[in-house]
Chains A and B, each alone.
Chain A
């Protein structure tokens, strides 16, 4: 299908993008890679009056740098750039690995980290990664810049704390040395996870994909691991605070089972519990 008609603004800077968002309010939508937005617009589930394209912004907004124990990733960095970054392979290998699991190569050439986080899909891979890694998200709006802990970012199905006139500009992550693992369970090529589990030792994070209305942390598992529980005992708690969906891929009970099995595998593979 073809999207409903809209006006197109190609932003030449963050300032221009923010000005366009301020001018058009909730009638405007930012577009980065377009790989979540265009499908939604084609199904006419989203019908913005104005699309503000930030996909061509470069500079600090696109790329990876590491200094003083912090990895900074520009919000417009594409999945394939995360996947192939030698700096990231060194400083935060889980993020590079999870990026390599998204969709297929053509999707990874266009989709961006900022877009994947702002889209806030509980079935997406990268939100779970940044949750487990204890990332900080940097947003800019008319009032300036603010930092948001990943744990506070996701508020509901496809919803985040970002205001209509704000834009994500950067994702900051601690340089990670410890064990990590990402389990993505799906049955069709190129598909989203039916359930996924991300585990990162040095942020003490365990997070779940597609186990509720938001990307979420498995806090009961995190606490059990911190208290010295075995992988088997900690993983038994994986679905405790979750309210997974039931759909054609599996019902809630099956997803709970998957979460426990995958969490155990992830904890063991990461060598954490």
Chain B
């Protein structure tokens, strides 16, 4: 361990993890490499693709643009823990909607896309189709052309596209 490593405790998906990390460790690397939750993807070096989106205290955040040390004291939700945030024992309604509307092809953007969408509906409950498109502007998908993603989010919001 490098000389300036620090001990932190991260709360991820309701479980607490004691880690020793360098302050420069990005949160996404702590999640993937230290905790082993590889559902959070890395798609760029410029904070622009949203593949690494997670929920921090319920709000979307790009985990490549946070330090692991910054996240101490926050409740983090990754795609692995999303289903557990609902009462049912199946998928989260947003996951179910992506499944039913075929809102993915290769799946690389999907964890970030789903978490960004959960946060989006929480923040803007009255979204219409253009609102969903603008609201997901920070998440890039190279496969779907977005059409079915937007459909899935509207369907999860109870509005058929």
Contact = CB atoms under 8 A, between A and B. Distances in A.
Contacts of B59: 80, 106, 109
Interface centre among A5, A8, A80, A103, by most chain B C-beta atoms within 10 angstroms, is A8
Interface residues of A, number: 31
A103 B116 CA distance: 14
A190 B137 contact: yes
A191 B47 CA distance: 11
Contacts of A105: 60, 116, 119-120, 123, 135, 138
A56 B46 contact: no
B120 A190 contact: no
Given A39-B47, A55-B70, A103 B6 contact: no
Contact of A189 (B61, B66, B116, B137): B137
A38 B50 contact: no
A5 B21 CA distance: 11
A8 B23 contact: yes
A254 interface: no
Contacts of B116: 105-106
A56 B56 CA distance: 13
Interface residues of B, number: 37
A136 B75 CA distance: 35
A135 B119 CA distance: 32
Interface string A1-39: 111111110100000000000000000000100110011
Interface in A212-234: none
A190 B23 contact: no
Interface string B47-70: 110100100100111100111011
B69 A8 contact: yes
Interface in B132-161: 134-139
A8 B70 CA distance: 10
B45 A42 contact: yes
A106 B61 contact: yes
Shortest 3 CB-CB contacts between residues of A and residues of B: A104-B138, A8-B23, A189-B137
A55 B71 CA distance: 10
B16 interface: no
B23 A106 contact: no
B122 to A, nearest CB: 10
Contacts of A35: 47, 65
A9 to B, nearest CB: 9
Nearest to B2: A5
A53 interface: yes
Contacts of B135: 104-105
A108 B110 CA distance: 21
A39 B48 CA distance: 10
Nearest to B115: A106
Nearest to A7: B4
A110 B65 contact: yes
